[in-house]
Amino acid sequence: MIVTRFAPSPTGFLHLGHALAAWVAYDWAKQHGGTMLLRFEDIDVTRVRPEFYPAIEEDLRWLGIEWEGTPWRQLDRTEAYQSALERLCEMNVVYPCFCTRKEIAQMAHAPQMGDGMEAMIYPGICRELPHVERESRMMRGERWCWRLDSAKAGAMCGNISWQDHRCGVQDLDPSSLGDVIIARKDIGVSYHLAVVVDDAAQNVNWVTRGEDLLSSTHIHVMLQRLLQLPHPQYWHHPLVCDEEGKRLAKRHDALSLRQMRASGVSAHEVLRHMTAHL
């Protein structure tokens, strides 16, 4: 049976881009007699607001989207993430990084992938730090995060490929996002590790999401192989863009579903508009 999921962050109201992602997951499962799950990616407590949990559920029901069971919250899953992180540490495929975002941004040779600081490819400054220096800096209480050593992890995974429903066969590229953050000192897990652990725990076998996350899937496939987790099917669908061709996102002040509903736009009109992008 097909199991999909929609996993928004409760940091704002849903917009058209979210609606498309939710509808693809829901409709694909429905077409094949499967189920869709709802999961809240709420590990970044600095941005999460309690009022957005029920607001997201309300918007989904307005669109006619239903899900199976009680929605999971990542904040309830910290032990599972910590266990996965410990396994990666034992494999020696992660290392502590002490660089600040400002320091990375000032490095002219650090290429940019997409929008925002989270998309900055890390140039690997702390990768070769001596063990003694790492331990000393951690003991001094410096801020640090765990990064995945993509080259080492890729070598352990070997030559593998994965299939995308829309984009075809993808050869694993460990360098697609560089040495990504796996966990922080203040936030015990990153998106990349949490999503892989949760998809496996919930038996999600079809991951449907926007094409902006296609490069992230290389990291997720590596983590699945390292942690010996099931490998789901993937479908990276087109994004909903504005008139200038920019994808709709919270930081671009995209029109929320709540605002559209208040202005008299019907759920049918929203669905017709967003599915035109598929």
DSSP the chain: --EEEE---SSS--BHHHHHHHHHHHHHHHHTT-EEEEEE----TTT--TTHHHHHHHHHHHTT---SSSPEEGGG-HHHHHHHHHHHHHTT-EEEE---HHHHHT-TT--B-SSSGGGBPP--TTTT--HHHHHHHHHTT---EEEE-HHHHHHHH-S-EEEETTTEEEE--TTSS-S-EEEESSSS--HHHHHHHHHHHTT--EEEEEGGGHHHHHHHHHHHHHHT----EEEEEPPPB-TTSPBP-GGGTPPBHHHHHHTT--HHHHHHHHHTT-
Conformation bin of residue 8: beta by default, left when phi > 0, alpha when psi is -120 to 50: beta
Catalytic residue of the set 30, 102, 152, 250: 250
Q: What pLDDT was estimated at residue 250? A: 55
Q: What pLDDT was estimated at residue 106? A: 77
Taking the model in full, what pTM does it have? 0.91
CA distance 236 to 214: 6
Question: Residue 265, class by beta-carbon neighbours within 10 Å (0-12 exposed, 13-18 middle, 19+ buried)?
Answer: middle
250 a catalytic residue:
yes
- Tokens 């189920």 belong to 35
Question: 220 and 182 in contact (C-beta within 8 Å)?
Answer: no
CA distance 77 to 73: 7
CA distance 78 to 89: 16
Question: pLDDT tens digits for 10-65?
Answer: 999 999 989 999 999 999 999 999 999 999 999 999 999 999 999 999 999 999 99
Question: 122 and 110 in contact (C-beta within 8 Å)?
Answer: yes
Residue ranges of domains in the chain, CATH in brackets: 1-76+240-278 (3.40.50.620), 77-193 (3.90.800.10)
Per-residue pLDDT of the chain (278 residues; tens, 9 = 90+): 999 999 999 999 999 989 999 999 999 999 999 999 999 999 999 999 999 999 999 999 999 999 999 999 999 999 999 999 999 999 999 999 999 888 887 774 444 444 343 457 888 899 999 999 999 999 998 999 999 999 999 999 999 999 999 999 999 999 989 999 999 877 889 999 999 999 999 999 999 999 999 999 999 999 999 999 999 999 999 998 765 556 665 544 557 899 999 999 999 999 998 888 78
